Structures are given as structure tokens and as C-alpha cells.
Amino acid sequence: MKSMNGLQAAVQAAEDAAAWVRTYVPGYPITDLAAALQAEISVNEKVALEIALGASATGSRSLVIVKQVGMNILADPLVISATHTIGSGLVIISGDDLGPRGSQAEMDSRFYGPLTELPMLDPRSPAALHASILEGYTLSERLRIPVIVRVTARLLADQGPIVTARPGRGAAQQFEKESWDLTMRGRHQRHHDKILADAEETSESTTLNRLEISGNVGIIAGGCPAALAEGLGVSLLSVGYSNPLPAKLLHRFIDGHRLILIAEEPEPFIELHLALSPKVKGKLTGHLPRGPLERADIIRALESLEETPEKKPQVYESVAERGYAGICDDCPFVPLFRALAKVDVPVAGDAGCAIRTTREPYQSVDVVYGLGSSVGVASGFAKKGIAVVGDFALAHSGLQGLINAVWQKRYVLVILLKNDVAAMTGGQEAPDLTHLLEALVPTRRLELPGSEEVVEQVLREELKRSGASVVVALGKCTKHA
């Protein structure tokens, strides 16, 4: 092996750190990384983090791998863990999907740094990713807090020199119960006073920062754009932490230059902190586009840094332009999707294969608000409607919607697409919850593929029922058989 990509560097770092407890929830762009790490799949990101917190409290280093929207699911225990404190090192790898290819939102997970008041590292290269994960464990154990490392598809695929292995076990430290001597307010005061102050100093002095001085124009960059901005004949400050930002270093750099360009993606996160300075240009000023960046974007921005960019009408990317991946022609659920379009009731889908039936030629599903959301959403419809949920989405968070519907006597027909896999993310095994459903609500089974008329008849019969009920549509995914 002559070089190493970001994925391999992350695996090397997990080995070096002896982070043996590894949990994940599949999703673009982190599925391959989690597979390479041989991480254990969890039903959802909150559970994935909770397992890691338990491991940390009892002396094991742990690693959680999620996609960016998964950060929303684990946010609750994450926010609490900051002031609660932990035991052994805990690192969360958050995978941002820029110019989203496999997500419903182009969410910039760097905003979770200030929100959770936890350190967030934003590596620019495979070597920096390896170093960031190792630094994450050191920091996590010194400050007894989780540390977040942001990755992107480009960073995981980027090639770089082979990193030198730096094996080092943690101290197997356990959670210290003395924390309970403080009130929640007291813990927050300690967090600001000691923990964040230490993290701020670390972000100023870390070797993950890189500084090159050349001329009176400078670029401040984080993540992959820092690598894209190298060798452009201007000064470059590449920051290793997106939270806390190295404020003193940034201000010294700004003071020493006439004009500054902030290169980052997808949102103007660093720029928002520095925008008060009229020297600072970037996405907010229109010099760089929102979303992912290319080197050519940075070069163009440098050439027009002294000008006020003309606001051009934007052409929104269409599904036709990107290319529409519909459901597989031989999908066993095709008769169901066709029948759904015939019954005149609102249909909520989930972020599984059902989302591909929102458009022509099916138009079976009306709304999709994220993984596991369909049951809750459909039980809020003005009239009885249908929730289409995959078996992984049901286990992820859909089941809570059904429990709520039973509890609050809401009307909803749930169609469980039971193929025993998480088909959208690569065919990972999904848990079988049919016995649980049978204990909760009237449940019937429907073998697919089958006659569209029969499926339509079943839907119409079930829609006449009061309350909540489930149809378990059994089909074998032909793509992940």
C-alpha cells in the first residue's frame, strides 16, 4: 500500500486508540466506514450513543459512527453527557452528506459543537483524520466529555500518505460519582469554567492547526476545503477544531491581512463567527457558493475578493438533472405501491425505499419527514391515513409512533414493508418486531408480490377499522436477497 484513504486512516486510528466498543447506524456517507470498523449496528443513534456511554462509564474506550441527521437522534444524551461527564474516551464520528446524495437534508453537523458545548474536530486530510481521532480520545479522557469528529464522503475517499501507527491504550478510567455532588447548574458552571477553557486552549495550540503566511490576503479554512486551498499563493490558516474555534489565532490572522476568505462547507459556520469584520468574505457575502466547494470556487472567489458579487438568480437542482433512482423494477412491493396510489387517503412514508415512490410513475407516498417518522405523521392526519414503514425504520423510532397511536387512540393504518433488511443503506439486517406488533394492535399478513387488486382490497378493509392496525407486507428484497 503506497497511500491510504480517509476511511483506512479512521480504521487505523480506532485500532491505535484501542476503541473496541464501536456502534453505528447505517446511512450515507458512513456505512462503509462502519463496516470497515466492524462496528455493531444499533436500532437508532440514541441507543448507539447510550451503549458507548455505558462502555465509557465502565472503563472502555468507545466509538459511535452516525450520519449527520443521526446527530439529531442522539442529541439528547449527548447534550447531557457534556456536563454529566463520562469515564473512558468516547468519540463520535458524524458523517456530513454535502450536496446530499443519500440524505433528506444538507445538514452541517458542525453546529452541534456549540449547541452541545463539546469539542468538534474537522480534519482536512486522511492523516489529519487519524490524528484528530487520536487527539479526540486524549481530550475526551482528560476532560471526561465526548468529542465529535466530522467527516465527509470526500474526506473518507481522499488519498494521502500512509499514517504511522500510534498505538496507545487509555487509562480505562471509569465514571466518577463525585459529579453527583454538584447540581445541574453547578456542573454547567464547572463545564464553562474548567472544561471549555481547557478545550479553547487546546484548539489554539493543537498541531492540527496549520499556518502558512504569504502576502496580505489570507484564507481561513476547515475540513476538506483547507486541503483545496493549499498552494494558491496566499496565506492559509487551516483550523483543526470547528468548536471551540481558536479565537485568538483567528483574530491575529485577520489582523495581519488586508482581506480574508473563509473556505468551508456546506454552511458559513466559521464565517458566522467572524462576519462582523468587513475584511471577511465567504458564503455570506456571496463570494463562495453554499454547499460543497471545489478548488475552482476558491480561486474564483480570490480573484473577485475586492468586488461585491453580483447576485445571480439561482437554478435549483432538479430531480431530472441529478437522475432519479426509483424503486427496483422487480421489487416485491410494487403492487402495494400501485394500490396505495388508488386509495384516496394521505400516505406518510419513511426514509427507506418508500421515499422513491413519491414521484412518477407511482406517486404512492405524499410526505416523508425522516427515518421512523411515518407512523407518528400519519396518526396526525386529519382523516385516517396510511403509514408506510420499513422494518429498520420501525425499530429505529417508528414503534414509538405506534405506541403513541394506541395510547392516544389515534387512527392509523401502518403498512410494514417487511423484508428483514435495511435496503436503502446496503441490506443490513433488521430486527423482526412482528410479535411485538401483534401484541399491540390488530395485525394481518400480506404476502408480496401478489395481485394489486387484492392488496387494494386489504387496504380498503383495514382503513374502515377504528383505531390503529398493521398490515405486515412480507416480501424479499431482490437487491439484497
Contacts with ligand SF4, residue ranges (CB under 6 A): 327-328, 331, 333, 353, 419, 423, 477-479
Q: Nearer Cβ to ligand SF4, position 227 or 388?
A: 388
CB of 448 to ligand SF4, least distance (A): 10
Q: What residues contact residue 194 under an 8 Å CB cut-off, 6+ apart?
A: none
Q: Nearer Cβ to ligand SF4, position 137 or 337?
A: 337
Q: Nearer Cβ to ligand SF4, position 145 or 331?
A: 331
CB of 419 to ligand SF4, least distance (A): 5
CB of 29 to ligand SF4, least distance (A): 19
CB of 423 to ligand SF4, least distance (A): 4
CB of 176 to ligand SF4, least distance (A): 47
Q: Nearer Cβ to ligand SF4, position 420 or 438?
A: 420
CB of 387 to ligand SF4, least distance (A): 17
Q: Nearer Cβ to ligand SF4, position 399 or 477?
A: 477
Q: Nearer Cβ to ligand SF4, position 40 or 330?
A: 330
Q: Nearer Cβ to ligand SF4, position 35 or 254?
A: 35
CB of 477 to ligand SF4, least distance (A): 3
